[in-house]
A and B are shown apart, each in its own frame.
Chain A
C-alpha cells in the first residue's frame, strides 16, 4: 500500500531554532501536501507541491517535492512558540494518505 513514513515523530526545540522534517514512501505521488493541526482542530494546509523537484516557500516555511516523487521535506526557519502543533505530510495519487505526524514543541 501507499504507506508514508514521517520523521521525526516529535521534536523539542528552542525558540529561534530551525526545524526539518520529512516524509518518505515506497510509492510515488503526484502531489505532496503539508498540513498543521492544533489540538481539537482540523488540519490546515501549509504548502502544496505538484511537481517533482518543486521547492515552495510560505513565509518561514519551505517544502520540497523530492525528485523521485517518493519523498518530501518541510523546513521551518526561526521557530516561534505559535509553531507548536502536529505537522502532517500527505501524499496524493488516487487518494490522499497521511504520515503519522511530527509533534513540534517550541520552548520560549
Chain B
C-alpha cells in the first residue's frame, strides 16, 4: 500500500540558509500534518492543512512557512536556519472521516542538520 512519502530523507544546510521539505500524502488523504522531533524528544506539532487550507497551527517558528497544493502534497519552507532547527521533520496524513476521529499515518521523516 502507498505510504506517506517525504523528501529529501537527509538534508545538510548551514546557518542562515533556507530549506524546503516535501510531503506526498497517502492517496485520497486530504489532511497533512508537520511535526518536528528533536533528539530524544517527542514529536512537536508544527502545522496542519485540510483541503489546502491551514487547519491548525502549533509551535511553528515565524521563519517557517508551509502550504498544501492542489494535488494535496505539502511543502515546509524554513528560512534563516538556526542550529536548533536540526531535527527530524515528519509529515503525516489522514482523511477526515465523518466521526471526526483522525488516524495519522507518518512518513519516514526528513533529517535536517544545520551546521
Contacts and interface: CB of A to CB of B under 8 A. Distances in A.
Interface of A: 30-31, 33, 35, 40-45, 48, 50, 88, 90, 92, 94-101
B55 to A, nearest CB: 8
Given A43-B106, A101-B42, A94 B56 contact: yes
A50 B33 CA distance: 20
A99 B111 CA distance: 21
- Interface size range of chain B in the complex: 20 to 34
Interface string B44-80: 1100100000001010000000000000000000000
A51 B5 CA distance: 30
Nearest to B41: A100
Given A88-B43, A94-B56, A98-B43, A33 B104 contact: yes
A66 to B, nearest CB: 16
Contacts of B99: 50
Interface string B88-115: 1010100000011111111111010000
16 contacts: A31-B102, A31-B103, A35-B106, A40-B88, A41-B109, A42-B4, A42-B106, A42-B108, A50-B99, A95-B56, A96-B33, A96-B102, A98-B42, A98-B44, A98-B45, A100-B42
Contact of B101 (A30, A41, A97): A30
B101 A92 contact: yes
Contact of B105 (A45, A95, A100, A101): A45
Given A88-B43, A95-B48, A98-B43, A45 B103 contact: yes
Dominant secondary structure of chain B at its interface with chain A: loop
B101 A40 contact: no
B42 A92 contact: no
Q: Which of A43, A88, A94 has the most CB of B within 10 A?
A: A43
Contacts of A44: 106
A50 B42 contact: no
